[in-house]
C-alpha cells in the first residue's frame, strides 16, 4: 500500500462505491476502495446451470441463505454473523446486508427504471416529503451514460412514468412470455398498460461481457457478465486503469476529522487479523449502503461534531424509507395444462405494469399520494422444494394434478413509494456492539396511512386483473396485514438525504456533506424520496454524476 498514493478513499464496492471508483479512476485519479466483506469472483463462484436437486434441501432458503442455497449473497442476509442490529419496541425492521465484494449488486433483481420528473419534485406537487435539489432534466444525460455503460434492456414506452432513454441506449428486451401476455390483455381491459421491463441484463454483448443466454437465475450471480454486477464490470474496468486498489475484509468504523472540519481518513477493522487500522485520504466517499453509511457517520463523533459527523442538521439517520410491498396471486384455470416451452428468458420480468396513475392524481381521483408498480410472477420455473397444485390423493392421479397446475399460477408483487415520517429512522444503539466493537444500528419503523391506502388500492387493482383472467379471489387481506415489513423490500434510502439547504439535509446535490467539504455520500442514503422504481440505477447514475463533479473540483484545486 505504501507505493499507492490514493487521492480518494471509497467505502463500499456495491452500486455507488464501484461507480464512484470507476468514474474517478477513468478520469485519472487514484482510488483506494474498502469493502467490509470478502473478495468474490463471479466468474469462478457463480453456480451456473446448477439444479435445485444438486443443492442441500433442494435449494430452499434458511437462516444461512435466506433467498436459497444458490443466492449469490455471501455472509449476508437479514442477519449477518457477528453483526447484529436492534429494533425499537414495536418495530420489526429487516436490514439486508451482503458482506462480499460487489455487495448487493451480486444478487439484485436488476430492475432498472429511471425516476421521472414527478419523482424528483414530489413535494412541489403534493406537499409531502422533500424535493430533490435538481430536476429530471439535470440528471437525464447521466442516466443515458449510465444505462449505456451498465447495459439495460427495455424499450422507450412513451408512458408518462417512464421517461425515454436517448436513441440507441437501450438494448432490445426479450419477447414476453404467455402468462405475461395474458396479464397484459387483462390489465388493458382496465386501461392499464403492461410493457417491457427495463433490466440491467445485456441482450447484446458489451466490452468483456457476453449477452444473456437465457438460462440460470441472475440472482445466483452471472459468470458471463450479462446480468450486471460490479464484480464483472465496474470493478475490473476500474482496476484495469491501474488507478484502483481494493482492500477486502475491511469494516469501516468511523471517519476521522480534524478541528477545521476537514476529513482526514478512516478507521477500519481488518477482519482477518481483528486489528484496528487507520488510513488517510484527501477525499472520503461513503457508499456503504444507506444505513451503514449513516451508522459510520453517527459513530464518528468529534468534539466539534457531538451528534456525529455531517450531522449539524440532525438529519443523519432520519427520513429512512423502504419501498412498500404486497403480493396477490392466484391460479388461472385457463392456464392449466398449457403447452410447454422454455420460459426461463432472462429470468426476470419481461413485462411489468408501470404506475398508471399520474393523470388520476392530477384530477384528484386517488386517496393516496405517489404511486406503485406491479412486478409479475409467473412461468414454468425450475421445480424446487415447493410444488403447486391441489395435491389430493397419491400416485399417477396426484402427479397429473401437479403437471396440470405447473405454470398456471400468476402473482402481482406491488412495489410502491413510501414517504418519510417522523416515526421512522435509525440511530445508534450504544448498548450493543458488534464483534468488531462498533456500536450497532437501532431501527424505528412505521408505515403511515398514506402507504396503507396505496396498498389497498393495489390489492383491489390486482384482484380485478386476476378476475378478468378467470381467477377466483376471496376476500382481500387488510392493508395492514398485506403490507411488507420495513426493510423487507431491501430498498432502504434517505438516511443522509441531499437537499438545497444545510438546515434540513445532510449533503448538497453532489453528495458533498454540508459540514465537511471533502466528505461525500454516494449510496441511496442521499435520496430525498423513495420513488417506487427500485433505487440501484439512480444510485449508480448519481455516483457517476457526482464523482465526475469531484474530479472537476480536484482539477480546479477546490478539493
Partner 1 sequence: MHNEDRVDSYKYISGMTRRESLKWLGLLAAGSAVSLSAGCSKALEETISDKGHWPDLDLQPITAKGYGTDPNMVMPPQSPWPLTLTQAQLNLVAVLADHIVPSEGNNPSATEVNVPSVIDEWVSSPYNGQQKDRVTILHGLAWIDDEAVLRYKAPFVALKKEQQTAILNDIAYFDNETPPQFQRIGNAFLRFKNLVLGAYFCTPQGCKDIGYLGNVPIAGDYPGPTDEARAHLDSILAELGLTEYAYQDSVAS
Question: Nearer to partner 1 by C-beta: 304 or 340?
Answer: 340
Cβ-Cβ contacts under 8 Å for 208 (sequence gap 6 or more)? 225, 236
In the set 86, 91, 157, 267, which binds partner 1 (CB under 8 A)?
Answer: 157
Residue of 445, 463, 465 lying closest to 455 (CA atoms)? 463
C-alpha cell at 205: 454483448
155 counts as binding partner 1 under rule CB under 8 A: yes
Find the shortest distance in angstroms from Cβ 351 to partner 1. 8
Residue from 335, 428, 489, 506 touching partner 1 (CB under 8 A): that is 335
Residue from the set 28, 135, 137, 215 that interacts with partner 1 by CB under 8 A: 215
User: In angstroms, what CA-CA distances link 409 with 174, 197, 384, 405, 516?
Assistant: 21, 20, 15, 8, 53
Residues 279, 447 contacting (CB under 8 angstroms): no
Footprint of partner 1 on residues 447-486 (CB under 8 A)? 468-470
**Crossing angle, helix 536-555 and helix 136-150, to 10 degrees?**
100
CA distance 122 to 355: 15
Q: What Å distances lie between residue 328 and 190, 470, 482, CA to CA? A: 17, 15, 9
- Is there binding between residue 406 and partner 1 (CB under 8 A)? yes
**Does 49 interact with partner 1 (rule: CB under 8 A)?**
yes
Q: Using CB atoms within 10 A of its CB, is residue 24 exposed (0-12), middle (13-18) or buried (19+)? A: buried
* The length of the chain, given as a count of residues: 559
Contacts for 525 with CB less than 8 Å, ≥ 6 apart: 286, 289, 290, 291, 293, 294, 493, 494, 495, 496, 497, 506
Of the candidates 490, 455, 496, which has an alpha carbon nearest to the alpha carbon of residue 111?
A: 490
Q: Which is nearer to partner 1, 388 or 553 (CB)?
A: 388
When asked if residue 330 is in the footprint of partner 1 (CB under 8 A), the reply is: no
CB of 386 to partner 1, least distance (A): 6
| Number of residues this chain uses to bind partner 1 (CB under 8 A) | 89
Minimum CB–partner distance for residue 376 and partner 1 (Å): 12
The stretch near partner 1 (CB under 8 A) out of 235-243, 331-339, 420-428, 483-491 is 331-339
Q: Which of residues 184-213 bind partner 1 (CB under 8 A)?
A: 184-186, 188-189, 194-196, 203, 212-213
- Report d(CA 33, CA 40) in Å as an integer: 14
What residues from 55 to 74 belong to the interface with partner 1 (CB under 8 A)? 55-60, 62-65, 69-70, 74
Q: Which of 176, 219, 416, 420 touches partner 1 by CB under 8 A?
A: 176
Contacting residue, 403, 433, 503, 552, with partner 1 by CB under 8 A: 403
For 166, other C-beta atoms within 10 Å of its C-beta total 14
For partner 1, the closer of residues 218 and 257 by Cβ is 218
Pick out residues in 373-402 that bind partner 1 (CB under 8 A): 380-387, 391-396, 398-399, 402
Contact call for residue 182 and partner 1 (CB under 8 A): yes
Q: Does the footprint of partner 1 cover residue 128 (CB under 8 A)? A: no
- Closest separation between CB of residue 66 and partner 1, Å? 10
Amino acid at each position: 500500500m505504501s507505493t499507492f498514493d490514493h487521492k480518494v478513499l471509497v467505502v463500499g464496492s456495491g452500486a455507488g462505491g464501484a461507480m464512484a471508483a470507476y468514474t474517478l479512476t477513468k478520469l485519472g485519479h487514484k482510488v483506494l476502495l474498502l469493502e467490509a466483506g470478502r473478495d468474490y469472483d463471479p466468474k469462478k463462484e457463480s453456480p451456473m446451470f446448477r439444479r435445485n436437486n444438486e443443492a442441500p434441501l433442494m435449494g430452499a432458503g434458511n437462516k444461512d441463505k435466506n433467498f436459497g442455497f444458490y443466492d449469490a449473497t455471501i455472509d449476508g442476509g437479514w442477519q449477518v454473523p457477528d453483526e447484529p442490529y436492534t429494533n425499537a419496541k414495536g418495530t420489526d425492521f429487516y436490514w439486508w446486508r451482503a458482506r462480499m465484494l460487489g455487495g448487493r449488486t451480486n444478487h439484485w433483481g436488476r430492475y432498472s427504471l429511471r425516476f421521472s420528473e414527478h419523482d424528483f419534485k414530489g413535494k412541489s406537487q403534493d406537499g409531502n416529503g422533500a424535493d430533490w435539489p435538481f430536476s429530471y432534466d439535470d440528471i437525464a444525460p447521466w442516466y443515458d451514460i449510465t444505462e449505456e455503460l451498465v447495459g439495460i434492456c427495455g424499450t422507450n414506452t412513451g408512458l408518462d412514468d417512464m421517461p425515454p432513454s436517448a436513441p440507441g441506449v437501450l438494448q432490445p428486451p426479450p419477447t414476453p412470455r404467455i402468462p405475461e401476455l395474458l396479464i397484459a390483455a387483462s390489465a388493458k381491459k382496465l386501461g392499464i398498460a403492461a410493457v417491457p421491463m427495463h433490466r440491467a441484463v445485456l441482450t447484446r454483448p458489451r466490452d468483456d461481457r457476453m449477452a444473456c443466454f437465457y438460462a440460470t437465475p441472475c440472482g445466483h450471480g452471472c459468470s458471463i457478465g450479462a446480468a450486471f454486477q460490479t464484480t464483472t464490470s465496474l470493478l475490473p474496468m476500474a482496476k484495469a486503469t491501474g488507478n484502483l486498489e481494493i482492500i477486502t475484509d475491511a469494516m469501516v468504523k468511523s471517519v476521522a476529522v480534524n478541528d477545521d472540519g476537514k476529513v482526514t481518513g478512516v478507521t477500519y477493522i481488518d477482519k482477518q487479523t481483528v486489528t484496528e487500522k487507520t488510513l488517510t485520504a484527501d477525499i472520503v466517499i461513503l457508499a456503504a449502503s444507506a444505513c451503514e453509511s449513516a451508522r459510520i457517520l453517527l459513530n464518528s463523533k468529534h468534539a466539534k461534531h457531538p451528534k456525529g459527523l455531517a450531522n449539524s442538521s440532525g438529519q443523519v439517520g432520519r427520513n429512512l424509507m423502504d419501498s412498500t410491498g404486497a403480493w396477490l396471486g392466484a391460479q388461472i384455470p385457463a392456464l392449466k395444462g398449457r403447452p410447454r416451452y422454455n420460459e426461463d428468458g432472462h429470468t426476470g420480468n419481461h413485462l411489468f405494469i408501470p404506475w398508471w396513475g399520474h393523470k388520476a392524481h392530477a384530477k384528484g381521483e386517488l386517496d393516496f399520494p405517489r404511486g406503485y408498480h406491479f412486478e409479475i410472477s409467473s412461468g414454468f420455473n425450475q421445480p424446487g422444494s415447493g410444488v403447486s397444485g391441489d395435491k389430493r390423493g397419491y400416485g399417477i392421479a396426484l402427479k397429473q394434478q401437479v403437471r396440470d397446475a405447473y405454470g398456471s399460477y400468476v402473482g402481482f408483487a406491488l412495489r410502491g413509494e413510501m414517504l418519510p415520517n417522523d416515526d421512522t429512522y435509525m440511530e445508534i444503539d450504544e448498548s450493543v456492539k458488534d464483534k468488531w466493537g462498533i456500536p450497532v444500528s437501532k431501527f424505528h419503523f412505521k408505515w403511515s396511512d398514506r402507504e396503507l391506502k396505496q396498498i389497498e388500492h393495489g390489492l383491489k387493482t390486482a384482484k380485478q386483473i386476476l378476475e378478468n383472467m378467470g381467477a377466483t379471489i376471496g376476500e382481500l387481506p387488510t392493508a395492514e396485514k398485506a403490507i411488507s415489513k420495513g426493510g423487507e423490500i431491501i430498498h432502504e434510502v434517505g438516511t443522509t438525504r441531499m437537499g438545497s439547504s444545510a438546515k434540513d439535509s445532510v449533503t448538497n446535490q453532489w453528495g458533498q456533506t454540508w459540514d465537511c467539504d471533502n466528505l461525500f455520500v454516494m449510496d441511496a442514503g442521499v435520496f430525498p424520496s423513495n420513488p417506487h422504481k427500485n433505487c440501484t440505477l439512480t444510485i449508480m447514475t448519481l455516483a457517476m454524476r457526482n464523482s465526475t463533479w469531484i474530479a472537476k473540483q480536484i482539477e480546479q484545486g477546490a478539493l
